Structure 1
């Protein structure tokens, strides 16, 4: 029966995590993996302590974010949370795809040879299309709470500016590319911080304190009632 629930029903469950303490714990794993990976990536995008090469994070991308999110997504599907399943699966696949691009063994960058402009344009296409996907999540999250809304909002801005940085780099405008990359890193860092807040909320709500999420469902209550 759970598999037949719509994404709309999943949004309601995504908004009201809880009820059974054991059923929402897995969400903490997914959000924690997401926050850990995005925060470390954002530090590199902002070039903190001179770090600019992201290859050291490949393990995080494959085994923390991709694997953690995809495994958790199956639990969300099992309890009928279609929206969380879609979100976690999508981000897990994104991280796996991005990790494959920057893994030398896959030979993606090497396939472009010395044509760095084409490579950067292709990376820009990759990220900008994910910006559209995240925009859908942002709109769908509006009837949930402020925390989920802020995560998707900052991630979308981060993806958009990072994509723009790739296009600027392809055009040879390195100054603009660096500025856009750092700006994207700031947005991703903010998304990571909100993700950490949500992780604390999910893992502490049954034992210590329930942090507020800022419920926004009341603004959409009339539409939900009509459905």
Structure 2
């Protein structure tokens, strides 16, 4: 996140009376000549916002750093990707917790292929189209995760049958698969340290979930698998929270603040 944007967030969130002037600029036909503050309100051109609305607008866009949504002709694709990931993770985690006595995970295969996989991949491609590299890489990668996970339980791919008579080797292979996703998720989590708390919590919980699932496979431990299921449920709810934040904040901020050149008054 640039220092200019940090200063903008600081001024907006602290509520200090100040006058902020911007050079004349044209944003998709909208002339913005001045940005000023008055009490709890921010005036951007002819638009008037509450300070809290502008702060909330930075959530739910799934960016590695805090930034207002870009001006483009697409809706925010992040809520679709987050929702598809969250629901698929929710159902799988319930199975890992053995909820209602369900222990066979094949019920998740359809979700993993079509919602967690296909729908999330579409969301990831649109994130790339709107210039959000972090969300594009994350959503598209996890779409690949769900597709590859579903392939393991699809007989046509012959993955499980290749390990007939080698159950321990199959568990170790699945553990290695999950370790790889833990490492990938851990590094994504590091990138969210300057983002919203909600987005950081999502990737933190997901990292723990992958790590516990890998340990459960290596140790063939049902209790650890159930613990992974609990963290998976928390991850799902964190994903839904971020998705709803993106849906709510979609129309809050119409002018990209980082497209303006601000002059902050000296004390």
Alignment-derived partner of residue 46 in structure 1: 97
TM-score normalised by L of structure 1: 0.79
- The structure-2 alpha-carbon separation of the partners of 1:60 and 1:144, relative to structure 1 and needing over 3 Å to count, comes to same
Could you say which structure has the higher strand fraction? 2
Alignment-derived partner of residue 123 in structure 1: 174
More divergent stretch after superposition (151-160 vs 97-106): 97-106
Q: Tell me the CA shift for residue 39 of structure 1.
A: 0.7
Q: Tell me the CA shift for residue 185 of structure 1.
A: 0.7
- The structure-2 alpha-carbon separation of the partners of 1:75 and 1:206, relative to structure 1 and needing over 3 Å to count, comes to closer
Alignment-derived partner of residue 247 in structure 2: 203
Q: For the Cα contact (< 8 Å) 1:17–1:24, is it kept in 2?
A: no
Alignment-derived partner of residue 227 in structure 2: 183
What is the root-mean-square deviation of aligned Cα atoms in Å? 2.1
Unaligned runs of 5+ in 1: 1-9, 170-176, 211-227
Unaligned runs of 5+ in 2: 1-60, 254-267
Q: Which has the larger radius of gyration?
A: 2
TM-score normalised by L of structure 2: 0.68
Could you say which structure has the higher helix fraction? 1
Confirm or deny that 1:104 pairs with 2:155: yes
In 1, Cα distance between the equivalents of 2:145 and 2:110?
Answer: 14
Alignment-derived partner of residue 192 in structure 1: 236
Provide, for residues 157-191 of structure 1, a one-character-per-residue CA deviation record: whole Å limited to 9, x for no partner: 0110110000012xxxxxxx111100111111101
Provide, for residues 114-165 of structure 1, a one-character-per-residue CA deviation record: whole Å limited to 9, x for no partner: 2100000000000011100000100011111111111110011011011000
Alignment-derived partner of residue 18 in structure 1: 69
- The structure-2 alpha-carbon separation of the partners of 1:130 and 1:50, relative to structure 1 and needing over 3 Å to count, comes to same
Alignment-derived partner of residue 139 in structure 1: 190
In 2, Cα distance between the equivalents of 1:59 and 1:84?
Answer: 24
Aligned residues: 193
